[in-house]
Every structure is written in C-alpha cells, then in structure tokens.
Amino acid sequence: MITGLGSSTLLGAALVLCGASVAAGATTTVLTEMTGEGGQVQYDFPRDPGNGWYVESGTPYRFKLGFKQGERASAHPVEVATVSVDPAERYDGTPSIVLQIIARHEDEPRSTAYYKVSVSSKQEKDMVKLPLLGGETLVHAFAMKIDPKSWIADGAPVVFEQFWQGSPFAAPVSLIMFSPDDARGMNWPDVGPRGNFAIKLNDDDHGPLHRFPTKAQYVDLGPIAVGVWMTWQVHVTPAPRQAAGEVQVFHDGKRVADVTHHKIGFDPSNPEYGSKRPSDQIDAVDILLYRDNGNSFQRIYFDNVSLSVVR
C-alpha cells in the first residue's frame, strides 16, 4: 500500500522521532550527526575528482564525499559540483552544509553525463553497520533550504536524499524533485510552480538495473518550496525478500507519505543478478544533489543531519 500527499492524514508536528514506525518501547540509537559547526572539506579535485571527506570539530567521524564531475572521460575533468560550509545560512544556530551543482551541458554522443555531490552518513568499513533484514528501522532526519535561484529542468529530476545499497544498482529509496511539467506528467493534482517533491522506490520488481524492463515507483510529496528552511524525516524499514517493508516521510512534522507492505531494498540472493549482486546491507545514507547534465543550477543548504536506528 502506498499513500501519498492528498490522500494521507496529516499528523501533528514532530519532536525527536515521529511516526508509526517508532513503536512504544523501541530503542533509538543515534549513529551519526552533522551540524555544519566547525565543518571542513577535505577534497583534492586534481588528485581525486571522485572522492573526498567532510569532518566537523569535536567528532572523530569522517563523512565520505562522492562526486561525479564534468568531462569525466577527459584527462582534465571540470569541477561542476561542490560541498562547502556557509556560516551565514543557519538553521538552529549553526552553520549549514552547502551542496551545489552549476549549470552545464555536455554533448557526449556515446555517454550521458550525470553530476553529483554527496555526503554519506555511513561508508563501508566505518563503525556504523546498517541493517537490511531483521525489522529494524533507519531514520534519516535533516533540515534543508533551497536557494531560490535553483530550478529543475524538464526530464532531469534532482535527487537530494537517498538510501544506497551499492553499485551498480539504483538507490532503493530516494527523495527527488520534479519540474512542474514532469510532475504534471505524473497526473499529480497539486503541482507547484517550482515542481514537486517525490519518493522514488526501486527493488527487484521495480528496476534495480537499467536493463531490467520494469520501472521505478513514485509517490507525490507535494509542491517544492524555496528560500525557507524545512525539515524532513525519512523512516525506512528494509524488507528485500518479501512485501513487508515500510517507508514513511515526514515534512515539517507532517506525515506526507506512508508506504507499507512493500519490498524495500534488493535481495542479494535473487538469481537474476548473476555475478554482480547488491550489498547485504545499506551501504550509505546520503544528502546529495544528483542530476543529468544540463543548463540548470541547484544550491541546497543542509543542517542538523542525523541518522538513527530504531530496534
């Protein structure tokens, strides 16, 4: 069952954790937190254009940065996507983390260019292990503000949050932004002047690989707002082998989507994968910007980013 904005019941404001996925008596463990306070970017673009680290004062944790930059096939790639810290843009009194992708179009006849900048709450070999089975719920929470100069091009939705299960597979759960025309193409009744937020779901039945004939599923989360701080909580209970998973999304404390009795994640034992199989855990949970190449520009400020597990 999938319930999106317009058909769901809007709940009251969130406190720390909200939603039916947090049962009475459950234990919540905070795995990682980012606030932007004392944040430093450790990224050497000429040496390694695809990877870097983000650190904050007072914590030994290093957050993995991931990039897809322009002209990746050439000897001199172009820096298209960046991560930084802005002391002037603050939510709850601390500097914010800024992700940005510039407007750029590349004409590559044999290859489609995609641009990405991501900050991972967890990376392989870190101390955090994220469950794929066992009924545990992952909760990703963050504040976000979209620069009013940002816009979404038709046919090039922008991903800004994702639960990642490893390459070469699409993210099982992600939050994205559609242009107004693309949102209208979904036949959603509440299309905003800047487009709409949405959930994107992939699993064994809905296109984990590009060669699979099936398609992703989308859930409308309502119109995009720019120039204002907003909060998100994404509750994910993985269940890759049977339709027992859940995804709940809370926007500014109101439940805007409720996905239940659904496959969430990819089943590593599925024989269709052959020699390339998905990870047996959630490899990372990211704040990010990720889109097709094109003459659109995005800048989003993030703050109070946390990842928790509920058992």
Sequence-separated (6 or more) residues with CB below 8 Å from residue 92: 35, 143, 303, 304
Q: Which domain holds residue 147?
A: 2-310
Count the neighbouring beta carbons within 10 Å of the beta carbon of residue 277. Answer: 16
| CATH number of the CATH domain containing 167 | 2.60.120.200
Predicted confidence (pLDDT) per residue in 84-111, tens digit: 999 999 998 889 999 999 999 888 776 6
Give the global pTM. 0.91
Nearest to 188 by CA among 142, 257, 254, 243: 257
CA distances to 156, 257, 261 from 9, in Å: 30, 9, 18
Tokens of 307: 């990842």
pLDDT at 6: 41
pLDDT reading at 209 higher than 70? no
pLDDT reading at 7 higher than 50? no
Q: How many domains does one find in the chain?
A: 1
